[in-house]
Amino acid sequence: MHAYVQDKPSPELKPPVTQVGAIGWARNNLFNGWFNSILTILTLLLLWKVVPPFFEWAFLDSVWTTTHQGCKEATGACWSIIYRNFRFIIFGFYPYEQHWRPLLAMLILIGLLFYSRDRTHWNKYLGYGWILGLAFMGVLMRGGILGLEHVESTQWGGLPLTLLLSVFGLTAAYPLGVILSLGRQSKLPALKLLCVLYIELIRGVPLISLLFMSSIIFPLFLPEGVTFNKILRAQVAIILFTGAYIAEVVRGGLQAMSRGQYEAAESLGLNYYLTMRLVILPQALKIVIPPTVSILISAFKDTSLVVIIALWDLLKTTQSVLSNPEWMGFSREAYLFIAILYFLGCFSMSNYSRKLERELSRKD
Amino acid sequence: MTDGDVTTAQEKVPFWLDPKKRGIMFQIVVFFLVGCLAYYLVSNTLINLQRQKIATGLGFLNKESAFEIGESLISYSSASSYGRALIVGALNTLKVSFIGIVVTLILGAIIGVARLSTNWLVSKLASIYIEVMQDIPVLLQLFFWYAIFYESLPSPRKALCPIDGLYLCNRGVAFTVPEAHPAHKYMFLALVVGGVLVYLIRRWAKRRQERTGQIFPIFRVGLGIIVGFPFLIWLAFGAPTAMDVPELVGFNFKGGITLSPEFIALLLGLVLYTAAFVAEVVRAGIQSVSKGQREAAMAIGLRPPLVLNLVILPQALRVIIPPLTSQMLNLTKNSSLAVAIGYPDFVSVANTTINQTGQAIEGVALIMAVYLIFSLSTSAFMNWYNKKVKLVER
């Protein structure tokens, strides 16, 4: 009779092969249960039907640098339409030799945006930098001084116009929106009524009706002889429209402020203006940064509507290429290209907004 | 000291230091400025209208329109009045919005649920769809679908026929419908009567359950009534099964129902775009119900359908409905982009009217008024609904 004592550790067993690694992952994420298994198989079948033909069309059989003749013979995508008309699609009717100017302006804008990504860079000087940068971009586009040839704004078009409409639209709409939302929260009944009417009226109608108004009715509002150019009028419509949406977003921030903040400011003896500027707005505007970015995204997308009042933005230049008999019938390629441009813009913005949201929520 | 304080308080305060009076002053000033601006704009406009000899007023609504409209729900010809043309446009807007909203809700709910699926592949695909569709302007999507329709599909003579009775060509989609029969009118009537009846039964069943605790199988009975009533009428009329099949006559299809490429491109663009937003709303709503709610419901012994019906959905819907209505409203407003691809919606018809009569102010005002009516009635519904589902706390 003797006791059995295990004095050596038993050898380590590897986990079953069906639980870890690629197989385990597939079992847990793709084939957990009969319903998910069927779903996975159906999805894979669908992907098999769609992806390889698309790949073949877009890459294997496609032509990239041919003329329109080569496109007619090719069986796949005709990316040559982009290659051949690239500069017209991007810059529109801007004089050909002067294309470096809008290009430089866009690079400055992208540089400024990129630099502003980091929240530690947000200070007064960045604000001045933006004002300087925007002014410089305006000079670059317009010309007429510094030895630059003057370019009429009727010749502006393509991507610079799209960016111009959205950047200036938002920078001007933001203060308007803040003022409107303060008016809406105000204790003065008449002022409140005015702001509520404005906000609800604008939010109730489609942007296109405002654009119509700016292009057809606005000239009637002005005394004889005074005219604004079409781009500025569309810009005003976009500002008035976006302002109302920003007002609603900012209102959310204002409503999230506790009463204590107002009372504390009041007990310090601050007047209305100082209360708002030093206590309420800095906190309220910080809360609403993420929804403001999503307003920016939709403003960027909405600039495409100016096509309807015949401004030469990115979409319109593309359509004009497509109406050229040489390139007729290649809409898919052209529109896909534009879609990718818009997607890159919007996607980077929404990614940034998510990042910002995470940072802000971590801080609290 | 105290005496001094009292006297200063009773001293007359100059009006610019009295917040109340200052507020009134400020409002008067703002109103005065706004009034001045309005007066300036209106007087300019009146002068300009007179100078350019543009007629004013809504008198043009009764004049002959002299333009054709491609598709219309009510009878319309170029001899009809502008007023009727605008009504046709408004009905077309309602038609595309209504169908669009129904399809969007279904598609959006499916994608939103797929986004939360435990199946990695499905949830990844759904999130890619949401991200891509949200980031491409809806107008570009409309152009894209319209171009696909025009460039990729053959002419009516070589129309594709994937299923019997369904034809795809660059003039639109033609499909088979049951031939018009008097029974249809009565079937529709029966459907409405059935709906009202089910509503009444549901109210009665709810009250009885509150009183006695007895549960009435409302879903099965309701489905039976709603499907059964029209079916009985159909049988009573001798079960007509004649079908109206589209046929190629000359260059186009006759018979059946033909949907124009403009309508389909508009519908497709609006639905695919808005469904991405609806999916996000649905996902957020479902995620807003905490896990504990489901576990608690299962712990008290509710069956899975009841867990969903009595615990999860009522809480999720409270979060989902408000942003959902605003998405539906967005779809309706975005349907105004129809003007860019030539579908005769309200904006498009109003635009033609403006071009023909030159009465831009009235035209744009009409557009704004119609959309305001849509959005105000939606927000009225929203307020009613919010009041109805508000948490009743004891």
Radius of gyration of chain A (CA): 28
pLDDT at res. B108: 93
Give which of A42, A205, A245 to mutate to test B binding, by max B Cβ within 10 Å.
A205
* Maximal C-alpha separation, chain B: 104
Exposed e or buried b for every residue in B186-221, given b needs 16+ CB within 10 A? bbeebbeebeeebeeeeeebeeeeeeeeeeeeeeeb
pLDDT at res. B391: 65
pLDDT at res. A259: 87
Tokens for B291, please give them.
């896990």
How many residues can be counted in chain A?
364
Give the nearest partner residue to A217 out of B122, B125, B364, using CB atoms: B364
In 10 A of CB A195, how many CB atoms?
22
Helix (H) / strand (E) containing B244: strand B243-244
State whether residue B160 is helix, strand or coil: strand
Cβ neighbours for B352, distance < 8 A, ≥ 6 positions apart: B67, B85
Tokens for A344, please give them.
């890159």
State whether residue B126 is helix, strand or coil: helix
- Contact between chains at B119 and A302 (C-beta distance less than 8 A): no
pLDDT tens digits, one per residue of A135-170: 888 888 777 777 677 777 777 878 888 888 888 888
pLDDT at res. B376: 86
Q: How many CB pairs under 8 A join A and B?
A: 156
When pLDDT is averaged across residues B253-268 and rounded to a whole number, the result is 84
Please report the DSSP string for A118-141 in residue order.
SGGG-SHHHHHHHHHHHHHHHHHH
Does pLDDT of B8 surpass 70?
no
Max avg pLDDT among A12-16, A332-336, B53-57: A332-336
When pLDDT is averaged across residues A244-267 and rounded to a whole number, the result is 89
State whether residue A63 is helix, strand or coil: strand
pLDDT at res. B274: 94
pLDDT at res. A267: 92
Q: Which positions in chain A touch B351 (Cβ < 8 Å)?
A: 212
State whether residue B75 is helix, strand or coil: coil
- Contact between chains at B45 and A339 (C-beta distance less than 8 A): no
Query: What's the pTM?
Result: 0.86
When pLDDT is averaged across residues A324-340 and rounded to a whole number, the result is 85
**What's the distance, Cα to Cα, between the start and end of chain B in Å?**
52
pLDDT at res. A20: 76
Average pLDDT for chain B: 84
pLDDT category of residue A240 using cuts at 50, 70 and 90: very high
Q: Are A305 and A207 in contact (CB under 8 A)?
A: yes
Burial of residue A148 (number of CB atoms within 10 Å: 0-12, 13-18, 19+): middle
Q: Alpha-carbon distance A137 to A113, whole Å? A: 14
pLDDT tens digits, one per residue of B315-343: 888 888 888 888 898 999 999 999 888 88
Min distance B285 CA to chain A CA atoms (Å):
18
Q: Alpha-carbon distance B70 to B263, whole Å? A: 10
Min distance A145 CA to chain B CA atoms (Å):
34
CA angle centred on A351, ends A346 and A356, rounded to 5°: 125
β-bridge mates for residue B64, sequence order: B81
pLDDT at res. A244: 92
Question: What share of residues in chain B are helix, strand, coil (percent, to 5)?
Answer: 70, 5, 20
Q: Alpha-carbon distance B300 to A138, whole Å? A: 68
Q: Which positions in chain B touch A191 (Cβ < 8 Å)?
A: 26-27, 30
Ranges A146-160, A176-190, B128-142, B286-300: which has the least confidence: A146-160
Q: Alpha-carbon distance A15 to A27, whole Å? A: 14
Nearest Cα to Cα of residue B258 among B143, B166, B149? B166
Report the chain A residue with the minimal C-alpha distance to residue B150. Answer: A329
Q: Are A337 and A82 in contact (CB under 8 A)?
A: yes
β-bridge mates for residue A63, sequence order: A78
pLDDT at res. B106: 93
In 10 A of CB B10, how many CB atoms?
8
pLDDT category of residue A352 using cuts at 50, 70 and 90: confident
Q: Are B336 and B346 in contact (CB under 8 A)?
A: yes
- Contact between chains at B139 and A307 (C-beta distance less than 8 A): yes
pLDDT tens digits, one per residue of A40-69: 889 899 999 988 888 888 877 777 777 777
pLDDT tens digits, one per residue of B127-159: 999 999 999 999 999 999 998 888 877 777 777
How large a percentage of chain A has pLDDT more than 90? 12
Q: Alpha-carbon distance B51 to A180, whole Å? A: 36
Min distance A341 CA to chain B CA atoms (Å):
9
How large a percentage of chain A has pLDDT more than 70? 99
Q: Which positions in chain B touch A221 (Cβ < 8 Å)?
A: 41, 44-45
Domain map of chain B by residue range?
Answer: 2-51, 82-135+273-389, 191-241
Q: Alpha-carbon distance B28 to B344, whole Å? A: 45
Radius of gyration of chain B (CA): 29
Q: Are B298 and B106 in contact (CB under 8 A)?
A: no
Q: Which positions in chain A touch B138 (Cβ < 8 Å)?
A: 301
Burial of residue A2 (number of CB atoms within 10 Å: 0-12, 13-18, 19+): exposed
Ranges A39-43, A52-56, A249-253, B171-175: which has the least confidence: B171-175
pLDDT at res. B379: 82
Please state the φ and ψ torsions of residue B160, each to the nearest 5 degrees. Answer: -70, 145
Per the model's pLDDT, the better-predicted residue between B44 and A210 turns out to be A210
Cβ neighbours for B363, distance < 8 A, ≥ 6 positions apart: A212, B350, B351, B353, B354, B357
Q: Alpha-carbon distance A231 to A162, whole Å? A: 11
Residue A39's identity, in one-letter code, is L
B172-175, strands of its sheet edge to edge = B166-169, B172-175, B257-259
Q: Is the dihedral of CA A339, A345, A351, A357 positive or negative?
A: negative
Min distance B257 CA to chain A CA atoms (Å):
28
Residue intervals in chain A for CATH 1.10.3720.10: 79-94+151-363
**A92: phi > 0 → left, psi -120 to 50 → alpha, else beta; which?**
left
Cβ neighbours for A97, distance < 8 A, ≥ 6 positions apart: none
pLDDT at res. B150: 80
Does domain A79-94+151-363 correspond to CATH entry 3.40.640.10? no
pLDDT at res. A364: 56
Does pLDDT of B58 surpass 60?
yes
pLDDT tens digits, one per residue of A20-29: 778 888 887 7
CATH number of B82-135+273-389: 1.10.3720.10
Does pLDDT of B16 surpass 80?
no
Min distance B51 CA to chain A CA atoms (Å):
9
In 10 A of CB A74, how many CB atoms?
16
Q: Say what angle helices B261-288 and B120-134 make with each other, to 10 degrees.
A: 120
pLDDT at res. A239: 93
pLDDT category of residue B7 using cuts at 50, 70 and 90: very low
ipTM for the predicted complex: 0.86
